[in-house]
Amino acid sequence: MVITAVICIIYSWFYYKKFVLLKITINFYINKIMEKRILGTQGLEVSALGLGCMGLSFAYGTAVDKQHGIKIIREAYEQGINFFDTAEAYGIANEELVGEAVSPFRKDVVIATKFGFKGGQAFNGQDSRPENIRAVAEESLRRLKTDVIDLFYQHRVDQNIPIEDVAGTVKDLIQEGKVKYFGMSEAGAETIRKANAVLPVSALQSEYSIWWREPELEVLPVLEELGIGLVPFSPLGRGFLTGAITQNTKFESTDFRNSLPRFSEENRSANQKLVDLLSAIASQKQATPAQIALGWLLAQKPWIAPIPGTTKSNRLTENIGGASINLSAEDVKKIDDAFAQTTIQGDRYPAQIQQNVGK
């Protein structure tokens, strides 16, 4: 009986090892299959889609359980995503969550985080003093459990600190081996040029989607000219373009969308026609509205890598499917022509937040 038990244990161990090896092999090929994109001129390579981790613990109501957050991040990696986005301003727990979740495969992923607010709080105003940039870098390294930050963004432009000083400080951190690449967020065209003259900017993170097209006016041409990648946040319109949000949707009291004019009940109703458009195209492509919205973004430029976020496994898989949507030039034109006939209702941000964008 003892011998039988030992044999069973040996067989169990053998098949477990085979299962682990098979899973590692599958994950390896999945990561090979997911398209990779180059951001900037310095060689930063990321998966075509990243994962915006903010919503796991910040801005969209109650934070998810830590173990659930880790599960979502690891599922993203297993399905081909190697680009994970966080920030000091999303709370200490967010960086710690990302750091713990990616620790088993840290060398295979790109972690992006951000500096630039007083005390790490967005509503306290900007703080891109060199000493604060350095302090945030040290804290982020500790919370992320890593020895280098792959992509370090200035979260918002600080008009009290010359952008040349900001870029110079990050350049020093790169030379010290604490940061690999420099990024900016929601910056205007001229500021991007000034920063890039001191230190090549690998990526700009800004909102860009079918229903927020402002970057096309000035920012995208400058990015293309200078060879800078674009990382669109809220590529699904903070969830609206998925079709899951209607005029009757009720958000938690702590949900950031309650403060956004575009998400008023009246404006959600008026903007539903855009979701209806995406749904019609999705049905033709055997896809979902979210996948069409992401496919549209990926079809714009080869140096664009959106970072949709989610707290749900099924939505994660759905979003990743968007990377496989191949929209023809005719498809894109059809979407653009329909958009041109649509007037989106509601400002993107309230005035006090919008004033910090595009500087």
Residues with a known catalytic role: 90
How far from the centroid of its chain's Cα atoms is residue 344's Cα?
23
| Residue 27 CB neighbours (<10 A) | 16
Q: How does DSSP classify residue 176? A: T
Distance CA 235, CA 306 (A): 6
Residues counted in the chain? 359
Q: Which of 170, 233, 219, 236 is CA-nearest to residue 358?
A: 219
Number of Cβ within a 10 Å radius of residue 43: 10
Is residue 60 a contact partner of residue 101, using CB atoms and an 8 Å limit? no
Residue 212 phi/psi, 5-degree rounding, is -140, 95
Q: Where are the alpha helices (DSSP H) in 103-216?
A: 130-143, 163-175, 189-198
In angstroms, rounded to a whole number, what is the distance separating the alpha carbons of residues 293 and 152? 27
Which residues in 312-335 are b (16+ Cβ under 10 Å) and which e? eeebbebbbbbbebebeeebeebb
- Spatial contact of 28 and 105, defined as CB atoms under 8 Å apart: no
Q: How many other C-beta atoms are found inside a 10 Å radius of the C-beta of residue 226?
A: 17
Residue type, 163: I
What's CA 336's distance to the chain center, in Å?
23
